[in-house]
Amino acid sequence: MAISKAFHHVMFETDSKILVDLLKSTNPPINEIGDLVSECKTLLLSNPDYVVSFVRKQANKVAHSIARATLSHPSPHVFREAPTTLYSLILNEMQ
């Protein structure tokens, strides 16, 4: 979706350390997962402003809430500041 919408500076976060490690490795496994990882790496390399990073599972609550808040807008939306409805989640994550 990020590519089809021509988004720039996209950060993908996942709670799968294995996935992040596979995407950063030079030799993906030779199986179906390796094929998917290779395809993802190709897409990421063709979009140098895209970043994949590992986040703890607890942080997913914040990411999920941000995504839900963004989807509630009728058109694509970029938050310049954290929505006030997320303050308590963000403060909890910082502790």
For residue 58, what are the CA distances in angstroms to 3, 61, 67?
28, 6, 15
Write out pLDDT tens, residues 24-59: 998 878 888 888 999 989 889 888 888 999 988 766
Predicted pLDDT at 94: 67
Q: Report pTM.
A: 0.57
pLDDT at 22 over 80: yes
Rg of the chain over Cα atoms, rounded to whole angstroms, equals 15
d(CA 21, CA 52): 10
